[in-house]
Amino acid sequence: MKVSDFLKNQYRHFNAAALIDAAEGYKTHLANGNKMLVSLAGAMSTAELGISLAEMIRQDKIHAISCTGANLEEDIFNLVAHDFYERIPHYRDLTAQDEEDLLNRHMNRVTDTCIPEMEAMRRIEDTVLKFWEKADQEGKAYFPHEFFYQILLSGELEQYYQIDPKNSWMLEAAKKNLPIFVPGWEDSTLGNIYAGHVISGDIKNVHTMKTGIQYMIELADWYTKTAKEESTIGFFQIGGGIAGDFPICVVPMLHQDLQRTGVPLWGYFAQISDSTTSYGSYSGAVPNEKITWGKLGKDTPKFIIESDATIVAPLIFAIVLDI
């Protein structure tokens, strides 16, 4: 039995049924000739969501991505240093001394997974710094994801690959020159490293790295050119935070701040979230709240699955891919 057939047979109620509804809505949205933007929050790349996400990109089921700086870089960390990662299933039992021991070994923990600083972060730094400095010396500026596209397509990192490259979503995105938007990139390991190199003088112009405001301008241009009444863009949100909040705001900005007419609302919306609505968090807001902000319409297909994205997202992708 295919995974998708199993899910449709077994997942009948509650969050399980919402998963099926969201996945079928995703398929219907694409079948009608529409596009889909996916947002990635949390530590999805370290959770190796790239295994299914890369296939979604390959099969043109995703047409743009908004993600945190961490998700952008951590897919590459995993690509070049996977064999040095350590999984700690008993992470809940770690003492403060255990955590300090991990620090002393340069193992940075994300829940049950430790990212090795030397093999991942510093290995990438050596390569990316060359690209940063070259652009800086030439007086050019690029977005964070554009620097990664240059590096991946140059082949400089191939000698370090430790996973099947088909499981790197960033590599697949680079091959397709997929539009990526990375709000708040400075809140990432490489963002900190970049700031350090500006402070030390290795990079003379801080604006060699394009900013979040420029990302919004780029997003507005892409949305305006791509979204039409006969071909809208859907929004599939994994987690919450800035990765989702930033891109979804492009529609009210186009309508309210730029007074543009004829720009459609988002044509589909689904979110995987475990945020609690009553705490006032935007990430936990039910989809209807977005109607009041001019992001979704009353007739927009809307879905929310209140569960763990590391479990739910690959299952939805399985249905969309019909595997």
Give just the sign of the alpha carbon dihedral 208, 242, 72, 232: negative
Domains and CATH numbers, the chain: 3-68+94-116+165-180+213-321 (3.40.910.10)
- Predicted pLDDT of residue 251: 98
User: Does pTM surpass 0.85?
Assistant: yes
Q: In the predicted model, what is the mean pLDDT of residues 112-134? A: 96
- Digit-coded pLDDT (tens) for 181-197: 999 999 999 999 999 99
Q: pLDDT tens-digit profile of 28-60?
A: 999 999 999 999 999 999 999 999 999 999 999
pLDDT of residue 111: 97
Structure tokens at 96: 């403060």
Q: Is there a contact between 78 and 48 (Cβ–Cβ < 8 Å)?
A: yes
Per-residue model confidence as pLDDT tens digits over 223-233: 999 999 899 99
Q: Determine the Cα–Cα distance for residues 239 and 243; give it in Å rounded to an integer.
A: 8
Q: Do 107 and 117 meet the contact criterion of CB atoms below 8 Å apart? A: yes
